Structure 1
Amino acid sequence: MGLQDRVKAAAKNVEGKIQETVGDVTGNQKQQIEGKAKQAEAQVQNTVEDVKDEVKKIVD
């Protein structure tokens, strides 16, 4: 497991949630979409780390 990669993904997720919320409050659709995109990217990063963990379990 890449702890550093998981921390980066968590930070990107939080950043995305904040950006989406700011977009909601201000009515800025671009901010909302960009925030959701960052959250999706973070989810992909976490999924990649999960796959790496599972492969490592199989190999070990």
Structure 2
Amino acid sequence: MAKIKITLKKSLIGKPETQRRTVASLGLRKLQHSVELEDTPQLRGQVAKISHLVSVEEN
């Protein structure tokens, strides 16, 4: 399967707990931290919830 690269671009300060947990479940820790994950419908749903906080690159 294809992989996507997700990078945390915005701070979590003042964001709801659900968004914080979604970011943590993706494995993102700090600003500008990136992870490469398998592209699945479940992952796309998580990214959609926090799309205003991250950038996504398809590989």
TM-score for both structures, normalised by structure 1: 0.31
Q: Which has the higher contact order (CA 8 A, sep 6+)?
A: 2
Structure number with larger C-alpha Rg: 1
Structure showing the higher helix proportion among its residues: 1
